[in-house]
Structures are given as C-alpha cells and as structure tokens.
A and B are shown apart, each in its own frame.
Chain A
Amino acid sequence: MKRLLLVFGIVCFGALWAQAQQTIRGNVMEAGSDEPLIGASILVVGSDQGTITDFDGSFELSNIPNNATEVKVSYIGFESKIVKISGQMDLGVIELELSAIGLKQVEIVASVAVDRKTPVAVSTIGRTFIAENASNQEYPELLKSTPGVYATKTGGGYGDSRINVRGFNSTNVAVTINGVPVNDMENGRVYWSNWAGLTDVTRSMQVQRGLGASKVAVPSVGGTVNILTNTIDMEKGGSVFYGIGNDNYRKVSFDYSSGLTDNNWAFTVLASKIEGDGWAEGLNFEGYNYFFNVSKVINKKHTLSLTGFGAPQRHGQRQNQQTIQSFRNAPQGLKYNADYGYLNGQLVNVEDNFYHKPQFSLNHYWTINSTSDLSTAIYASTGTGGGGGTATDGSVGFNEFRTGDQYSPYDLDAIVEKNLTSQDGHAFAYLRASRNDHKWYGMLSTYNKKLSNDFNLLAGLDLRSYKGIHFSEVTDLLGADYALDDNDINNPNRRLKVGDKRDYANDGIVLWEGGYLQGEYSSGPLSAFLSLSASNTSYKRIDYYNYLDSDPLQETDFQNFFGYQIKGGANYNVNKNHNFFANLGYFEKAPDFDAVFQNFRNDINADAENQKILSFELGYGFRSSAFKANINVYRTTWNDRTFTKSFNAQDDPNTVIDESLAELFANILGVNAIHQGVELDFVYEPTTRFTLRGMLSIGDWTWDENVDGVSIIDERQNVVGTIPTLFIKGLKVGDAAQTTGSLIADYRVIDDLKLGITYNYYANLYAEYDPIDRISDENGIVQSWKIPDVGVFDAKAVFDFKIGTLDASLYANVNNLFNEEYITDAQDGDGDGDGIGDAAGARVFYGLGRTWTTGLKIRF
C-alpha cells in the first residue's frame, strides 16, 4: 500500500513541471469527458493564422500578431468557442460542447455534472475510453477504475455483472439512461443484462458519487450512474465492427447516422449481435442490440426526438457460489459450474436468464423564449423474461442426477428415465422459469427559467406507472406427462404442461408522483445550488394464487409512502487551477415493495419505515494542462436501513401466541451504517504521447451500533416477542472492496499505435453477510472473512489505419493479463465450526482468468 502511495506521490510532483511555457498552447477536449478532439481548428480571430490539434488534442501556435486578443476553437459536431488570449500563454484545457441535437437538454434532464461547476464528486468516461476498453466488459466493469466503485462479473454469465458504489449495492445506486431511471420499481435493483451491449451507443457514462446532482428523487445513496446514449450526430456516417475473443466470443455490429438532412430530419441506427460460450462451463450466450433515434427539428423552438433501444438476450448462468476447496478439487478448476446439464447430448443451461426490455422515449425540446425552455420525455418500457431453474415434487433432488462425480453436469437424460417410471405420469423433476415481466410508463419534464444573469430556476415533474407481473412457469417436463401443482388456491391439483403457470402468480403495481424545484446560482468563480424534491410512492399487490378470486384480500389497497430530499452545495473556482466544492444533503427513501408486503403474501407492513440518509462531501480540484486531479472526502450515514423479519409463530419456541396469528413480522429499526472515506483521482500527461490516469479510494464502511431487542408485532399491534440483540457495532460492510486503486498508463508508440496497461487493486474486501443474522456475541463481534487483497492487470492496443479512404481501428484487449487467481465475491461461512467465518466456509466466485478480444472497426 505504501508503495502505491509513493507512486501517486511521484506522479503528483510531476505535475509541477508542466507549468511555465513561452508559447501559446492548450488542449482541446470534449466537454464533460477526458477525450481529446483530434484535428480541431484554432484560428486567431481577425487573421488567417491558425493550426489544428494533435492526436492528443494539444496545439501550439506562435508568431501571433500583437493586436490579437482571441482565438476561435472549432470542431465539426461541436459548438465553436472564442477564447481570450490577452496576456495568457497557456490556455489550458479548452472544452467544446457537442452540438448534437438535444444533447444539452438531455444533459439537463439527466442532471449531468459539469466540471468545476457542479459541486459533486464525479468521474466521467467517454466514447474513446469505452471503445478502447469495452472488450468483453460490461457497464459496471468499465467504471472499475473510478473511485468508490467495485464491480465484478459475479458468476461470469453474460450481463451478470454488478456494481457497488461507496459500499452500497445496486439497490442504492441510481442508474439513469438519458435521464430515465431504470432501477427496478419494486426492489430497486439494476439488471445490467437488460442493457448488455448498449456500450456501443454510449457517448458518456458518468458516476456521481454520493447524493449527486440528480434533481429527481432517485436512490442515490451510494451514487448515480448516468448513461447518455448517442442522440443525433451532426455528421453523416457510420461504422461496421467485427470482433472475436476467447471461448468463441463473436461480435458484429453496424451503425449509421444520417446527419441532419436539408429538411431537418435526422436518424441514427445501430444493430449488433454478441455470442459466445462464456469463460466458465455452461455460460454460453447470445445477445442482440438495437438502437435507433429519429429526430425532427420542427423549427427554431421545437425539436422532437424518438429514441428506442433494447438488448434481447439469453445466457447460461453460474448461480451457485462454491467453496474455495470445491473449485480446487473440481477437475475443471475455476471454470466449474454446477448449474448446467446435458439432455440428448445437448448442453442445457439449467440456470439461465432470458430477457428483453425495450425502452422507447419521445423527447420534446421547447425553447419558449430566450430565458426559458421546457424538456419533456415520455417513455415506455416493457420487460419480458426471467430465469430458469429446477423444480421437483419433493421426492428427488436434482443433485442426485449427475453424469459423473459431484463436479459433473446434471444428467437430464437420467431424470427423463426416472420420470418415465412415474405411475401416474407426474414429473418427479422438471425445469421451470421464474418470470418477471413488467410494463412501465413514465414522464419526465424539466422547466428551466433564467431569472437573471446569475440565477436559474428549474422545476420538474417525474411521473411513473409500473406493473410487475411475477409467476413461475413450466419450461420442460423432462419426459413426464405433466407436472403436478397445488399452489393455486383457485385451481387445486392441476396437471401442468409446458408454458403453464405454477407455484405463484402475483402482480406488483407501483405508482410514483414526484416533483422538484432547484435554484442555481452562478456568478464569476462561485456556483451554488439548492434542490428540493418530493415523491409519493404507492404500492399495490395482487395475489392470484394465495387468495380465492372471490376473496377481497386478493388485491390490496394502495399503500402510500412519502419520500423527499433536500440538498445543496457550492463550488468555488479560486483560479483556473484550483477549485473547492462542498455539498450536503438529506433524504428519506420510501421502503421497497418487498418490505411493504411480507411473506410473499398480501400481508401488509404498513409501518415500514423510510430509510434516512444524511451525506456530505468536501472536495478539491486541480487543473493544469498536464495534470488534473480531484480529491474529496465524504461521510454518509444511513439510518433505519430497511430490515424486516417475518416468520411463523411455531418457528420460535420461545414465543407463545395465538396460532391463528401465524404470520408475524418485525420492522427492525436502528440498523445504521456509516460510509466514509477519501477518494482521489488524477490524469497526468507529461508528454503528448503518454497519459497516466490514477485513482485511489479508501473507504471506511461500518455498521454503527448494536441493536437491542426489537419487538415483534402482530397484525393487531400486539407485541408478541422480541428479537435478540444484533451485535453489529464496528462490523465492516461486506461485499465491496473498501480500498481500491488503479493506474492506467497509455502510451502512443507511434502516431497510429496506442498501447495501454491498466492495473486495478482491491483490498479490504469482506465476505457478504446479513447483519441481522448477528444475534450472538459468543465470539465477540468478529468480522466476516476477509478476501485476500489482489492486483489485476489488463492490457490493450489500438491501431488506427486507413483502408483506401476509410478510417479503421484495430482493437486488442487482454483482461487479467497475468491470469491472476483471485476471489471477487464471497458469502461468509464457517468451515471449522467455531462460529467465525473463514476461508474454508466461504462460498465464492473467482474473477475470470485471462480473457482476450480483438476487433476491427471501419468507419464510413
């Protein structure tokens, strides 16, 4: 660790070289990203003297006429900028804003943070970074080199990656695509496989850590990930891409933009297909992507833009974590996957996932007058799909059917044979899928009014209507005549065929009405904002299986929960090099759907408590032409984290109660966590050919206090029991590395060849556990098993060349270059029976071994 700090130190000193220069020079970059604009023109206003930027966006201009006061910086597809040069030799970084239709408005709707203006801790990655590093990595992994982020591939299935920000999992990380929130309306989770492959049309991805700049109420406890897709490129053209990789990875994609036509129409389309066998066993996948945007500039005041995208996919999963020893014992080693089988010689992904969630949005941008405008997005998304798995009648277990030893695949042929012996034709074992379909409609509207030169007022509405449709269905009877199911109270003892529903069927309906008001002040070096937002969430549950159709309890009333947030912050630019910022916020987050309805029934937990989050950040930024750095500290206290415990009366021999009140639950309040830490990131370009990016993030995330005797309440509000003390004080939060660091060194060997190496370091990663399981202090308060620290290298190469008149790029990536064996995910477990989690008891996923991809992109 000390060595790592030393390296950062060296780099920081290096920044001081680059100051005093005697010629006019600068760097032209795309605003909001670290991407240089190559070939941008710099023209001295009032003369014909000028130059263009180099491949790193830098330029130098000498022999300027004495009377020259400003230069014009311009680049196709971007808005030109006039920069004053009086007495100034080093112009530093000149950022050009994209002139793509609607981009600015989308950025406002999505609350994209602006450097040295928006007072939040933020990291942004842009198109070039994504193109060079995408390889076989998914959205979360592209962010792994930004502070506070911990991303893993979990089991390694396509789209199964996950992200934690500042130690909070995806339930507490808001994700928006073009400003439209995509966290599941019921449980808050983000399913990245829904967007797998959308990286191809991503123009930028921004992580705002902490409460962030988001105006609408979103669950940004850990942070917000804003994904902006391409809208309309002004430039006409397109590209084709073909890539291959390890384990039969193949990707082909095509995109095309019309540019803005003479009659003010424009469209962009993209289509791609990705397939492969997956690195581990039984993870074969096939995914498609489509994206389109059609825009019409109606007149100077109105623009309409329709965007649609989706990524239908089906992939095999590795659902079950295994002990370290199992992976060591398995003949296939780290590629061992217990969750697939063979039937008639064909591989069957017993645990699989299939989903298609197209999203369409119609955006209207209305410039009302010179001081006000209104941006409105109406969107709709429908999700169809689910996850496959096993089902039995209770007399057999799937694990009894393996083709060989315990590490071998399921022997589905043996199950067919077994099913054929069934006297009454029912299936002993069969395959099912748990389906989670949904329909989601919403509207986001933002009104922006410039009250004075310094003061801006924003007001907005966020309306959502969501219906989740949950059921399980039979997908393969494995040779049986039918599957027997007796879970539908309205239709007992059914003989099910493939496609029939089973086990459960219920709908979750969520209505959301939110609004916000934000004031922004910006004058000279100071900018500040104050934001207030509130939302009402209404939940309704309809249970078709546990209640008779004639039973009014089948459908609940709407349960309403009110949440709000208030936050504010300020940024002060001391000079062109230094800026400071601070922000402070408090918000109350409505409980999730699953906390409101207990026991997988319509048992209403009307007293479910709001979670309360208080957060502040202090930050400092340094900018010079060669060195950019940010450092910030944060502290988030998260109080009354939702925990409910529900159980049967007879489960607890100590509770003597009326048997008719068998369904009980407790809202466990006072489970509080403190997440605090320091985050540093920098970009250093000592020469035009070399770029070093680095990040160090040191978190201290712990549970706060022990929680004493929580009362168990029955539906008549009687206290019927007590949950013992939770011993959690000082326990480290698990499931995300508390210390992360990264260095990315890019070196342009020759003008057309760029080589890069990425190093990521993960430390203080504790196995996941449930704090409300900690009901004993027999061993004192002991941490869960600590996963060994590790550093992992990736390497990349990009070669730009010409095919005739067409630009082409050849990409090559090797991830986990040294084939490091390391653990990314662990569930705490006790192997030696002393009540303390250890390496023998933990069940884990390993990081993938060495993987590679290479691809060719040709632009036209």
Chain B
Amino acid sequence: MKNIYLMLSGLVLVLGLFSCDSLKDTYAELDENYQDPSGIQELSITMGDDEYQLLEDVDGAESIANYKSFSSEDEAKTYIPYVLDYLYPQLGKGASASVDYHIYSAIVSNNEYSFELTDADYQALGQEEGSLDSQWDVFDAVEYKLANPEHLDLVSLEYVYDDGTTVDTVIGKIARYNDDWLLADQPTSEEYAMMGQSFPNFSSRTTAKRNLAILLDQKYPFAYEGDVKAVVFTYTYVPSGGDRVFEDYLAIFEFDGSQWMVIPDLKVANLKFGFDGSQWVPDNTIRFTLSSADFSLIGGNQGGDAGESAGNYGNFDRRPTGSAYWSDEMILAGINFLLNTNYPSSAVGQKYLITYAIYDGGAGTEDIYVIKDSSGEYIYYEE
C-alpha cells in the first residue's frame, strides 16, 4: 500500500513539472515588445504662461520664457520637447501631442520701393491730365511700376493728385497685403499730437499700435466688419552707440464690427510631436480609426464581394481564401481613396496612421502608416 502512495505522489510531482506556468515564457516574450495602450495618449495642449515659464532654465531658451513666444518654427521644434518632457514623463512610445504655441512675426514691410510718376507714366496710364484722381488710379499706377508685387511690399509713390478742388504732389505709401493693395494712412503731425506724441513719430511700437487703433476708430467709425486698413508710421529709436534712427513701420488693422484691431505680431501656430520611447520628436502624423462610414466609402469604391463585405461588416475581411478578401494592395488603394476624398488638401509629407477593424476568422485590428509623396499618392511610411 505504501508503494502506491509513493508512486502516486511521485507521479503528481513529476507531472506537476509539466503543469506549472505553461505561459510564463509566452508572457515574458509579450512583455518585451509590449506597448501599454495607457501610455499611448493623444494630447492636445496650448503653450500658456506656465508652460513658457518651464523654459526659463533651459539653455538658449531664456528669451522664449521671457517673451512667451518663439521666434521661429525651428525654435519651437527644438524647445517644445523640453516642455513635453517635463509635463508628461509618464507617457510611453507612441504618445503624441498637438501643441499650439506662439510665434513672433512682427509685421514689417517686405521690400520697399520708391517711384516717381513721370509724364510718360501718366501717358501710359491714360491719364492725359498728368494727374491721378482716385485711389484706383493710384493702385493702377503702382501696378504699372511694380510688376510682381509680394505680400507686404511697401511702395512710396510720388504722384500728382487731383481731388477735384486742389491739385497736389503727394508721396503715397501703398502696401501690398495678400493680393490687394492698400493705400496706407500716414498720420499727420496733428494726429501724432492728438495721439499724445511730442514729435511726429512713436518710440514704442506697442503704443503706436494701441493709439493708431483709437485714431482709426475716430477716423473710420462706419467701416464694415472685415475691412482692412494699412497705416505707415514713423518709429524712432537710438541704437546703442549710434545716432537716432527713423524708420517707416507698417501696421495692419482689421475692423471687427465695432472697432479697429491691430493684426498682432504674435501668431498662434501648431506643431505635432510624437514620443519615440526616449524623446519627443516633431511629427505630423494624424491618427484615426476607420469608422463605419469610412468602410462604406472605401467599400463602395472597391465594389464586389470585398466592397460589400467592408460596407456591411465595418471591417476588412483578411482571409485570403474568401471572396471578400482584402489584400494589402486593396487596403492601400482604399486608404488612398479615403484620404483623397476626405482630405484633398493635405500637404505633401503628411502622414496618417490609420487603425482599421479586420476579420480573419476572429475580429481584430490592424494599422496602416502612410505618407503623401510628391506625386500626391499615399505610400507606406517606414519609421
């Protein structure tokens, strides 16, 4: 009898060896490459005062902290990762952040030109009297003198102006703003005085823009929302160790329906970053998951059993044997169709990481990572 007990316990012991933790190695293997989805978050943040403050002690970023803005996109790409690192050290590979930040881009004139209309010019413009008599005439004249204007070009044009009662020679400042010409207001000495300036100039651009807006409110109270005006004012400063300088400065104002507002120097821009496991890198990848509507769209374009299946079930059938099989090529073609339909104006180099549902006997998901190439086609993007 003892033998049997012995044999039994021996058996259990031996067999026990076969039965402990059969999945231990499998789990270890999975853990090695595992990306915990809780670490893959999609952030959307705006650089505020607190965030800029974080750059205070970063070498080379002191002024960014100070002015709460970046001077270029490259600067933003360099320093925003510091902010993300500080704020989200817990996130894992695959996390992404869409960051709104401020970029300083003072409106200064682009190229400055100076022309004087000659008799020949007046003749060519069809102004037989040798004078201009409307704003449109002035714009025609500028256009005649400057063939290919660019945004924010500033033209000084000396011409004879006939307003119906008096004929004067004036030096007009005409600014190119987007695709339009604007005849810039130039404050008179009286107006400078009214704006509290002892001299006909400003020594502070901030004050200039504030006060000019008030001036415009008084001069043009009946403007329509969206009207734009350019003002050229004189800015003066003394560079260290030099003589006082006077410069023409351009400011653009827009009427918001109740008052004139200066178009600010600080602009909000957006950059996307991705966390690669060790650092945040600029990344323009847009991520999304195909919706049922997306499947219907792609399926409708594909047609056939495969198309019908995608529309009906909201997934791609990935069983190569089935009549509804979606090959890699078919999926890439479908994604091309979807992106070109829904985002026709995506820039070259735009990347999309798209997750889609599949069926291959069980339900699951797959990802496709594509980038728009120079021919406008989406191709596989290799990280």
Which residues of A line the B interface, CB within 8 A?
Answer: 3-4, 6-7, 10, 320-325, 328-329, 338, 392, 394-397, 399-400, 599, 643, 645-648, 650-651, 653, 662, 686-687, 690, 743, 745, 747, 757, 759, 761, 768, 770, 772-773, 775, 788-793, 818, 820-823, 827, 829, 831-832, 839-840, 843
Q: Does B361 contact A (CB under 8 A)?
A: yes
- Decide: B22 and A394 in contact? CB cutoff 8 A: no
**Nearest neighbor of A825 in chain B, beta-carbon distance:** B362
Q: Contacts A394-B312, A397-B357, A757-B12 hold; do A843 and B323 have CB atoms under 8 A apart?
A: no
> A344–B306 Cα gap in the complex (Å)?
36
Binds A, one of B27-35, B96-104, B160-168, B263-271: B27-35
B311 / chain A contacts, CB cutoff of 8 Å: 394
- Decide: A772 and B321 in contact? CB cutoff 8 A: yes
Q: Does B4 contact A (CB under 8 A)?
A: yes
> A408–B65 Cα gap in the complex (Å)?
45
Q: Does B8 contact A (CB under 8 A)?
A: yes
1/0 per residue, CB under 8 A from A, across B286-320: the answer is 00000111011000000111100001101000011
A338 / chain B contacts, CB cutoff of 8 Å: 363
A-B contact pairs, 25 of them (CB 8 A): A10-B7, A338-B363, A394-B296, A395-B292, A647-B323, A647-B325, A648-B306, A651-B323, A687-B4, A747-B8, A757-B8, A761-B18, A772-B321, A788-B23, A791-B15, A791-B16, A792-B19, A793-B19, A818-B20, A821-B23, A822-B22, A823-B23, A827-B361, A839-B29, A840-B30
> A435–B150 Cα gap in the complex (Å)?
71
Give 5 closest A-B pairs by Cβ, nearest first: A791-B19, A791-B18, A648-B304, A790-B22, A321-B362
Q: Does B11 contact A (CB under 8 A)?
A: yes
Q: Does B360 contact A (CB under 8 A)?
A: yes
**Nearest neighbor of B28 in chain A, beta-carbon distance:** A839
B196 / chain A contacts, CB cutoff of 8 Å: none
**Could you tell me which residues of chain B, from 1 to 53, have a CB within 8 Å of some CB in chain A?**
1, 4, 7-8, 11-12, 14-23, 25-27, 29-30, 33-34, 37
B296 CB contact (under 8 Å) in A10, A395, A757, A793: A395
- Decide: A599 and B22 in contact? CB cutoff 8 A: no
> A772–B319 Cα gap in the complex (Å)?
10
Within the complex, the shortest CB–CB distance from B320 to chain A, in Å, comes to 4
**Could you tell me which residues of chain B, from 360 to 383, have a CB within 8 Å of some CB in chain A?**
360-364
- Decide: A320 and B363 in contact? CB cutoff 8 A: yes
- Decide: A843 and B15 in contact? CB cutoff 8 A: no
**Nearest neighbor of B8 in chain A, beta-carbon distance:** A745
Q: Contacts A651-B304, A788-B26 hold; do A793 and B18 have CB atoms under 8 A apart?
A: no
**Could you tell me which residues of chain B, from 324 to 383, have a CB within 8 Å of some CB in chain A?**
325, 327, 329-330, 357, 360-364
**Could you tell me which residues of chain B, from 144 to 169, have a CB within 8 Å of some CB in chain A?**
none
**Nearest neighbor of B305 in chain A, beta-carbon distance:** A648
Within the complex, the shortest CB–CB distance from A568 to chain B, in Å, comes to 37
Number of A-B contacts (CB under 8 A): 141
Chain A: interface secondary structure?
A: mixed
B329 / chain A contacts, CB cutoff of 8 Å: 653
**Nearest neighbor of A816 in chain B, beta-carbon distance:** B19
**Nearest neighbor of B361 in chain A, beta-carbon distance:** A827
Which residues of B line the A interface, CB within 8 A?
Answer: 1, 4, 7-8, 11-12, 14-23, 25-27, 29-30, 33-34, 37, 291-293, 295-296, 303-306, 311-312, 314, 319-321, 323, 325, 327, 329-330, 357, 360-364
B29 / chain A contacts, CB cutoff of 8 Å: 839-840
Can you name 15 extra interface pairs (CB under 8 A) apart from A325-B34, A772-B320?
A: A3-B17, A4-B14, A322-B362, A323-B364, A395-B292, A397-B291, A397-B292, A643-B321, A651-B305, A768-B361, A788-B26, A789-B18, A790-B22, A821-B22, A822-B23
Within the complex, the shortest CB–CB distance from B380 to chain A, in Å, comes to 11
> A383–B277 Cα gap in the complex (Å)?
57
> A680–B255 Cα gap in the complex (Å)?
94
B7 / chain A contacts, CB cutoff of 8 Å: 10
Within the complex, the shortest CB–CB distance from B250 to chain A, in Å, comes to 52
> A840–B296 Cα gap in the complex (Å)?
29
Q: Contacts A648-B306, A791-B15, A839-B29 hold; do A394 and B319 have CB atoms under 8 A apart?
A: no
- Decide: B319 and A788 in contact? CB cutoff 8 A: no
> A823–B30 Cα gap in the complex (Å)?
15
> A831–B366 Cα gap in the complex (Å)?
9
> A399–B363 Cα gap in the complex (Å)?
11
**Nearest neighbor of B320 in chain A, beta-carbon distance:** A773
Q: Contacts A397-B291, A761-B18 hold; do A843 and B304 have CB atoms under 8 A apart?
A: no
- Decide: B319 and A770 in contact? CB cutoff 8 A: yes
> A645–B321 Cα gap in the complex (Å)?
6
- Decide: B305 and A773 in contact? CB cutoff 8 A: no
- Decide: A324 and B26 in contact? CB cutoff 8 A: yes
Within the complex, the shortest CB–CB distance from B223 to chain A, in Å, comes to 44
- Decide: A829 and B305 in contact? CB cutoff 8 A: no
B321 / chain A contacts, CB cutoff of 8 Å: 643, 645, 770, 772-773
A325 CB contact (under 8 Å) in B30, B306, B362: B30
> A829–B325 Cα gap in the complex (Å)?
16
A662 / chain B contacts, CB cutoff of 8 Å: 304
**Nearest neighbor of B13 in chain A, beta-carbon distance:** A3
A599 CB contact (under 8 Å) in B303, B305, B327, B364: B305
Within the complex, the shortest CB–CB distance from B314 to chain A, in Å, comes to 4
B296 / chain A contacts, CB cutoff of 8 Å: 394-395
- Decide: B303 and A843 in contact? CB cutoff 8 A: no
Within the complex, the shortest CB–CB distance from B333 to chain A, in Å, comes to 9
A690 / chain B contacts, CB cutoff of 8 Å: 4
> A775–B12 Cα gap in the complex (Å)?
46
- Decide: A820 and B22 in contact? CB cutoff 8 A: yes
A840 / chain B contacts, CB cutoff of 8 Å: 29-30, 33
A3 / chain B contacts, CB cutoff of 8 Å: 14, 17-18
B304 / chain A contacts, CB cutoff of 8 Å: 648, 650-651, 662
> A454–B364 Cα gap in the complex (Å)?
62
- Decide: A820 and B19 in contact? CB cutoff 8 A: yes
> A394–B314 Cα gap in the complex (Å)?
7
- Decide: B15 and A793 in contact? CB cutoff 8 A: yes
Within the complex, the shortest CB–CB distance from A393 to chain B, in Å, comes to 9
A392 / chain B contacts, CB cutoff of 8 Å: 292, 314
A320 / chain B contacts, CB cutoff of 8 Å: 362-363
- Decide: A329 and B37 in contact? CB cutoff 8 A: yes
- Decide: A839 and B314 in contact? CB cutoff 8 A: no
Within the complex, the shortest CB–CB distance from A719 to chain B, in Å, comes to 19
Within the complex, the shortest CB–CB distance from A838 to chain B, in Å, comes to 8
A791 / chain B contacts, CB cutoff of 8 Å: 15-16, 18-19, 22
- Decide: A4 and B357 in contact? CB cutoff 8 A: no
**Nearest neighbor of B299 in chain A, beta-carbon distance:** A394
B292 / chain A contacts, CB cutoff of 8 Å: 392, 394-397, 400
**Nearest neighbor of A329 in chain B, beta-carbon distance:** B37
